[in-house]
Structure 1
Amino acid sequence: MADISKVKVTRKTHVKPNKKIGSQQCQLVTFDLPYLAFYYNQKLLFYKGGEFEERVKKLKEGLEVVLGEFYQLAGKLGKDDEGVFRVEYGDEMEGVEVAEAAAEEISIADLAVEEGTSALKDFIPYNGVLNLEGLHRPLLAVQLTKLKDGLAIGCAFNHAILDGTSTWHFMSSWAEICNGSKSISTKPFLDRTQARSTRVKLDHSPPPSNGDVPANGKKDPNLRERVFKFSEAAIDKIKSTVNANPPSDGSKPFSTFQSLSVHIWRHVTQARQLKPNDYTVFTVFADCRKRVDPPMPDAYFGNLIQAVFTVTAAGLLSANPPEFGASMIQKEIKGHNAKAIDQRNTEWEISPKIFEFKDAGVNCVAMGSSPRFQVYEVDFGWGQPEGVRSGSNNRFDGMVYLYRGKSGGRSIDVEISLEAPTMEKLEQDKGFLVAES
């Protein structure tokens, strides 16, 4: 790959909503608070061709408009008089940080590599920046980088104020405005207290800022990241294999997500060469918008996710057919209903614990993002992105991000972070790679 040290930031500005909104406060709720000690959530999209200055102008103007609805992203974190975290917005605030950069020796092909997100870190702001730092930093930072043959858009979102569903709602709305719409088609639902109104006082303060340092590679030189691209035919093959022996208890057939999940979980567990009695954990961050009572709209803006855990012995997972693990995943996801969500929230509120991104546990496979997100429909007026990737923040051994494949249909891109020896074994695993196009 080309030398990423040749990415040079040339200018930094701030973008505010293009209309007066006044002073606004929105309490963070139990669904938001556990992510305060995670890092900013990073996304990178890259597009072909175009005149860089014209595109930057269009993106900034569109951002001014869309922030009129998503004004929380132009605010800061704060605390009220009782120590309850909230999003605070005022017209006098500086808004979203926008950096412009040049990397004219680097091409889209360089960014589309399947190996290593750490190589992409210079294209996305706020590497190694904790969400808690949103007390004094913008809640959204954007970097627009001029490439040899296109444009890279790197975004860092404060994960304490929004999840993946809200992230892509914002991105598609921003693109909608840039593409000529006078207003966005779906406005965000901004009242988090409709989902959970409990007020939780927290004493956490941000540590000294460590600046823009890598959040994974330098701390753990043995961690590798790779993108495995599963074609539509490969996904169908995995799903049919897992569903070859359907559940005897009358459960629904295993979904595409459940089938792919158990495929990844089993093969990563085998590549780790665990002892038969070692426990292995599968974690999925489930969208709770339709699980809570009353249900929340799809446009709910915030975090409305919870981690759902499936645990078994490595020997049992490997020795049994794939439907064994798929059935456990299916059962745990199905059981995560309004009652379970409320119980989890109540327990947390009694004894709040702020998790760090790496607290998922040993021998874990954790699923983030979703192939349901319409990432390749984020068209700012110059076509779909050539690629969509996650940044280097919030990565640990076993972290997986799923994205819809660029080829469309049921194809899925799987970003996996693993310790180097495990990754090497996974790459050599024909049972895993048979599904890779």
Structure 2
Amino acid sequence: MAPTTKIKLIELSSVSPPPGSVPATSLPLTFLDIPWLPFSPGQPLFFYHFPMSTLQFTQTVLPNLRQSLSFTLQYFFPFAGKLVLPPEPSKPFIEYTEGDSVSLTVAESGGDFSYLSGDGQRKFEDLHSLVPKLPDGEKDTLLAIQITVFPGCGICIGFALRPVVADGRTFDNFLKMWASLACKNRGEDLHYPAAIIDRSVIHDPSGLESTFLKEWWSVKNSEKKGLFHSTRSNFPDMVRSTFILGRPEMEKIKKWILLHGTKQMFLSPYVLTCAFVWVCWMKTHWPNNADSEEVHFFGFIAGGITRLNYPIPASYVGNCVAFGRLGAIRKDLMAENGIVYAAKVIGNTIKKLDGNVLEGAKNWISEWKMLLESDLHVTITGSPKLKFYSLDFGWGRPKKIEVSIDEMRAISLCESRDVVGGIEIGLTLPKSKMDHFTFIFNKCLNNLF
């Protein structure tokens, strides 16, 4: 389906760290980076209400953004580097040399800014046109940025980021430093976290690196680009929608679970949201086959900063996340108390990860591959703990954030902009499925009490 809004290219440039600020560096991947090698780039979008003409933006705002981005890359130089894939069985690494850069595209859109930055159904291809393309080459570029101006309305800053270089926490730190430096250039005195590149802070006592490398090369050799692929691209009518669960809705879900479950269950806002959305997803996709004994898996990301048994700086640049996976039988998820069952298995898995975040880690890559290539399974991306809506470049908070609009069969979560304690849920589905999911989502909420 072709985009209904046209994008006009205004400017294409490259932004590097200040000359001489970063020496040539070869940065090894840690065992926590390697599992992300097969993944396609994340594609987050940040919409800002910022009414001005394209000419005004390029003349008065863009120079500051470009300069502050350059200074930020001095501290986050791996983002400007390249991913190098040496011959098997060698380990890939990130290489930075003088002049390496991040691609920065400036474009103009004639699209409806309010529509694209809203919560309702939006055509996937319209949003996808706001995402930059990572340049192809012998060595993989790690980050590209596109700023799209909607004259008189606002702007959208879109990213394509290979997850091997950074987890959500690192990306959040990068954005905060960029925004802080942009504001500082405007005379505002703000602070940003230091960036720690030293990879020796990550320890591999179980020797997982060799296991992950072996699995990575197996994936790389068996697939065209070594990337986990989605089953979604066959649908031409994909739409994106956002749903919000606030504290009142979460309390309803929690009361229902406690009424039909046990008081010993772990029921954080994250668990409540995941359980509710998973059951709605199941009822959307399998309305006529609810009694099946088929096992469905649910995958999510678990932070490692607070779960590993040794200290890691919060400003560490790289990946420090683990993978959680759990299975449930379809008929149990589709039953009247399916939300109770879902909350129990999700909560129990999180408690296990709290005790040993690397339990079962040797199977991470194979399990991700299985999850992402089957319609039976669901994955969660993003985290409500990352305060992306606080990201202010001097124009106020974002009007809307899409954690990632990629075609991966995943559900994204982030904090709500306007609902205190709420969680925004993002989905990309064929329109007919999205219509049905919306009906189920609202029906399930109304039927709880």
Corresponding residue of 1:141: 144
Q: What do the CA deviations read for 1:228-256 (whole angstroms, capped 9, x no partner)?
A: 123343233333433445635x455x111
Corresponding residue of 2:252: 237
In the alignment, the residues of structure 2 paired with residue 168 and residue 259 of structure 1 have an alpha-carbon distance, to the nearest angstrom, of 24
SS state of the match for residue 413, structure 1?
strand
Corresponding residue of 2:428: 417
Change (3 A) 1:164 1:340: closer
Within the candidate set 215, 218, 225, 2:240 is matched to 225
Corresponding residue of 2:173: 169
Corresponding residue of 1:389: 402
Q: What do the CA deviations read for 1:113-142 (whole angstroms, capped 9, x no partner)?
A: 522433211111128x8xxx6863431101
In the alignment, the residues of structure 2 paired with residue 241 and residue 391 of structure 1 have an alpha-carbon distance, to the nearest angstrom, of 31
In the alignment, the residues of structure 1 paired with residue 336 and residue 347 of structure 2 have an alpha-carbon distance, to the nearest angstrom, of 16
In the alignment, the residues of structure 1 paired with residue 137 and residue 413 of structure 2 have an alpha-carbon distance, to the nearest angstrom, of 27
In the alignment, the residues of structure 2 paired with residue 8 and residue 155 of structure 1 have an alpha-carbon distance, to the nearest angstrom, of 17
Query: What one-letter code is carried by the residue in structure 2 that aligns with 1:334?
Result: K
Q: Which moved more, 1:75-84 or 1:273-282?
A: 75-84
Contact 1:369 1:402 in 2 (8 A): yes
Contact 1:46 1:386 in 2 (8 A): yes
Query: What one-letter code is carried by the residue in structure 2 that aligns with 1:308?
Result: G
Q: Which moved more, 1:35-44 or 1:290-299?
A: 290-299
Change (3 A) 1:176 1:357: farther
Change (3 A) 1:108 1:52: farther
5+ residue gaps, structure 1: none
SS state of the match for residue 296, structure 1?
coil
Within the candidate set 158, 161, 174, 1:157 is matched to 161
Within the candidate set 183, 190, 194, 2:197 is matched to 190
Percentage of pairs with the same residue: 20
In the alignment, the residues of structure 1 paired with residue 232 and residue 261 of structure 2 have an alpha-carbon distance, to the nearest angstrom, of 41
Corresponding residue of 1:16: 16
In the alignment, the residues of structure 1 paired with residue 140 and residue 251 of structure 2 have an alpha-carbon distance, to the nearest angstrom, of 44
Query: What one-letter code is carried by the residue in structure 2 that aligns with 1:404?
Result: E
In the alignment, the residues of structure 2 paired with residue 354 and residue 78 of structure 1 have an alpha-carbon distance, to the nearest angstrom, of 25
Change (3 A) 1:264 1:297: same
Corresponding residue of 2:57: 52
Corresponding residue of 2:6: 6
In the alignment, the residues of structure 2 paired with residue 370 and residue 241 of structure 1 have an alpha-carbon distance, to the nearest angstrom, of 24
In the alignment, the residues of structure 2 paired with residue 153 and residue 347 of structure 1 have an alpha-carbon distance, to the nearest angstrom, of 35
1:431 paired with 2:443, answer yes
Q: What do the CA deviations read for 1:403-436 (whole angstroms, capped 9, x no partner)?
A: 211204112211123455543322222433549x
1:326 paired with 2:343, answer yes
Q: What do the CA deviations read for 1:48-89 (whole angstroms, capped 9, x no partner)?
A: 224412221121111011111111101111256872111111
Alignment of 1:256-335 (within 5 A): 256-272=269-285, 273=287, 274-276=289-291, 277-319=293-335, 321=337, 322-335=339-352
SS state of the match for residue 52, structure 1?
helix
Contact 1:370 1:402 in 2 (8 A): yes
In the alignment, the residues of structure 2 paired with residue 404 and residue 158 of structure 1 have an alpha-carbon distance, to the nearest angstrom, of 23
Q: Which moved more, 1:415-424 or 1:24-33?
A: 415-424
Give the alignment's TM-score, normalised by structure 1.
0.85
Change (3 A) 1:367 1:208: closer
Query: What one-letter code is carried by the residue in structure 1 that aligns with 2:178?
Result: W
Contact 1:108 1:147 in 2 (8 A): no
Within the candidate set 52, 63, 70, 1:64 is matched to 70
Contact 2:3 2:129 in 1 (8 A): no
In the alignment, the residues of structure 1 paired with residue 138 and residue 268 of structure 2 have an alpha-carbon distance, to the nearest angstrom, of 41
5+ residue gaps, structure 2: none
Q: Which moved more, 1:68-77 or 1:215-224?
A: 215-224
Q: Which moved more, 1:68-77 or 1:425-434?
A: 425-434
Q: What do the CA deviations read for 1:275-332 (whole angstroms, capped 9, x no partner)?
A: 4212222221111221122142222222222221121111112325233321211111
In the alignment, the residues of structure 2 paired with residue 216 and residue 156 of structure 1 have an alpha-carbon distance, to the nearest angstrom, of 20
SS state of the match for residue 256, structure 2?
helix
Corresponding residue of 2:385: 372
Q: Give the number of aligned pairs.
A: 419
In the alignment, the residues of structure 2 paired with residue 190 and residue 245 of structure 1 have an alpha-carbon distance, to the nearest angstrom, of 48
Change (3 A) 1:280 1:377: same
Give the alignment's TM-score, normalised by structure 2.
0.83
Corresponding residue of 1:103: 109
SS state of the match for residue 67, structure 1?
helix
Change (3 A) 1:239 1:275: closer
In the alignment, the residues of structure 2 paired with residue 3 and residue 362 of structure 1 have an alpha-carbon distance, to the nearest angstrom, of 26
In the alignment, the residues of structure 2 paired with residue 113 and residue 306 of structure 1 have an alpha-carbon distance, to the nearest angstrom, of 30
